[in-house]
Structure 1
């Protein structure tokens, strides 16, 4: 099924400053999540950010929050964000059924949140380039388990272009100028 901007929500799980120094690929994950979050906000796709017990692990990476001024922040104690009653209720009320999911640690909070969302009937898209763990092997195992459970692995580019649908609109031109063009070493040509 195609990822649609009017049905999607980007959920960034626990990219927290206190945890990122020990996360393999953490900087890349923050960059990819921030980039896709910027595209999402330009297209009016909600961006939600969670923090696992910030008193102990610190808040979200400041670079991420600075890049996403319109995000909604959720603090949690459950590894599965969907077990937080306020979060689950707000997500149901949003009407968004396609969840693009990323964050850290992939094999703990991201995976448990994804499994909870799948159990609740949501479509889950695993953002592979921004789902990271302390060890890459654990992130890989989490991706494999999520895929077997029904999540669809995707890249940030895949999601952005599915949200955009077409290249001949003002919306595409605006997003392409602001976000897509710098990501490619080769200029994109359309017709």
Structure 2
């Protein structure tokens, strides 16, 4: 079960020059926004990566607006976990051992980062409807492989309702509007 007080949200490489080639990118951006808004409301730390931003550009503006500059990490490794500065940032809060991830591309940077976190002992969940690849078949194979490795493959609504835990609260009333 995902718990807000144990979670960190990581957005992987939803960048301006890559986004147009991604299958269902509008859904990825919309669901990533829902996750980011929810994390903000629930006090869940967020961070993002940009794969070689000189070539692929920055995060798309709709998502970049959620982040402070110190929450965005440039990388050249496909696995963000291999980038020492990013790894230290994430490992700095071991009280939050649940890593909830979304982004692109599912079969490359998302998968390799998720596998790195898993090998390091984190509880990892990849949000399938907030992630994608250029070819949807690559994404589907990545989700199957990640599940075999003990990584949870979940949806935006699954994460949102697990983080909220119950109905009838002000937070529930506010955040449930994001998925209507």
TM-score by length of 2: 0.94
Equivalent in the alignment of 1:188: none
Cα pair 1:47 1:70 within 8 Å, conserved: no
Q: Distance in 2 between matches of 1:69 and 1:145?
A: 30
Equivalent in the alignment of 1:143: 143
The alpha-carbon deviation at position 64 of structure 1 amounts to: 1.0
Equivalent in the alignment of 2:176: 180
Equivalent in the alignment of 2:156: 156
Cα pair 1:14 1:60 within 8 Å, conserved: yes
Q: Distance in 2 between matches of 1:171 and 1:110?
A: 29
**RMSD of equivalent CA atoms:** 1.3
Task: Provide Cα deviations, 1:156-181, integer angstroms capped at 9, x if missing partner.
Answer: 11111111111233333xxx32x322
Equivalent in the alignment of 1:37: 36
The alpha-carbon deviation at position 139 of structure 1 amounts to: 0.5
Task: Provide Cα deviations, 1:7-40, integer angstroms capped at 9, x if missing partner.
Answer: 1011110000100111111111011001111011
Cα pair 1:79 1:108 within 8 Å, conserved: yes
Matches within 5 A, 1:1-191: 2-66=1-65, 68-69=66-67, 72-95=71-94, 96-172=96-172, 176-177=173-174, 179-184=175-180
Q: Which aligned segments of 4 or more residues in structure 1 are displaced greater than 6 angstroms?
A: none
Cα pair 2:14 2:103 within 8 Å, conserved: yes
- Structure 1: stretches of 5+ with no match in the other structure: 185-191
**Secondary structure, aligned partner of 1:161:** helix
Cα pair 2:157 2:179 within 8 Å, conserved: no
TM-score by length of 1: 0.89
- Structure 2: stretches of 5+ with no match in the other structure: none
The alpha-carbon deviation at position 70 of structure 1 amounts to: 5.2
Q: Distance in 1 between matches of 2:139 and 2:164?
A: 28
- The total of aligned residue pairs comes to 178
The alpha-carbon deviation at position 114 of structure 1 amounts to: 0.5
